[in-house]
Amino acid sequence: MNEKSAESPLDSPPASGLPERYVEIEYTVEPNYAGWRLDRYLGEKLRRLSHARIQRIIQRGLFCEHRLKPSTLVYPGLTFRIRRNMSAEPETPTELPTVFQDDWLLVLDKPAGLPIHPTARYQKGTLVSLLRERFGERFAEPAHRLDRETSGLVVCGRTTEACRVLGRLFLSRDVHKEYLAVCEGHPPEDTFTVDAPIAEGTELIRIAVRIDRTEGKESRTRFQVLQRFVRDGAPFALLRCYPETGRQHQIRIHLHEAGFPLVGDKMYGPDPGYFDRFSKHALEPEAWARLRLPRHALHAAHIAFPHPGTRQPVSFDSPLPADLVDFMAGKPLAPGPEDAASAA
């Protein structure tokens, strides 16, 4: 992703008559999105935007050597630019620890708070932009995604073939993933399973998911209790999570369904109104105190799959990060953010 700033009207002049500041974001389609419709591809990259707004961007704010329509089927290497009004972008982590690297793979340990792809709010402060800045174009492309607040392992392909193979592996469920999570409450059983179909979208939050046994897609997660503990008089547990399917927000909604929501989860946690106020930078101190952590307590701790080059099994691990270790140890919490950014 490349970007530049300029002064120019966008679709129409601003009311003041003065030129607006804008940013141009360049996208290059990755191999695992080959054959997707353009509007679906942008919907995956800009997940907080409505379908109608994405259609307007394609029609009025997208620039390419060829004419592109919402129904255009994208292909690897297709490059285009989107022009967006410039707004203040929240700060995000800049560290990008490398777990493993060879000619085919780059495995990173993503810090919490770093989005993977550009979104409506984040352009420069993303994992993709950090990769471009530090290693140059086409060095590596993420093969999957984690929520902005989720920390842990991200696998990237370093060649076109590696990206294709990894894309197939993730789609075919040939990738084994394990997460660590800190939840509210003490689950009574040491192991339990949530088998509940997931559908996209809720009445209040378009990017959220819901349990829907009529329209939802098959979704199943196994949980193992690693430790039960008490902090400030309240019960919590450290869980190892084994998602058997790969739905959006699967672990988060399944823990909510089980009655043990993630600590710090503004979307599926103690109050459904938290996310709306959070996204508007209006979440009050009492709500931050109830959430207990400034991010949801989910960490991608283990991943295993056939190497895209050698086809031999490979696996990678990431330890529980310091903020979650400190929470479990009862250390004082940092104050809630004064200007919280919208969640991914």
Catalytic residues: 147
What is the radius of gyration, based on Cα positions, of the chain? 21
DSSP assignment string, 230-247: EETTEEEEEEEEEESS--
Whether 291 contacts 262, CB under 8 Å: no
Comparing CA positions, the residue from 300, 298, 290 lying closest to residue 333 is 290
Tokens linked to 138: 């086409």
Number of neighbours of residue 279 by Cβ within 10 angstroms: 19
Whether 261 contacts 292, CB under 8 Å: no
3-state helix, strand and coil shares in percent for the chain, rounded to the nearest 5: 20, 30, 50
* Polymer length of the chain: 344
- Which residues are paired to 316 by β-bridges? 303
Tokens linked to 86: 């410039």
Residue entry with tokens 């409506």: 120
In angstroms, the CA 216 to CA 22 distance is 39
Whether 71 contacts 36, CB under 8 Å: no
Residue entry with tokens 């009311």: 15
- What is the H or E stretch that residue 145 is in? none
Number of neighbours of residue 76 by Cβ within 10 angstroms: 16
In angstroms, the CA 251 to CA 245 distance is 10
Whether 252 contacts 296, CB under 8 Å: yes
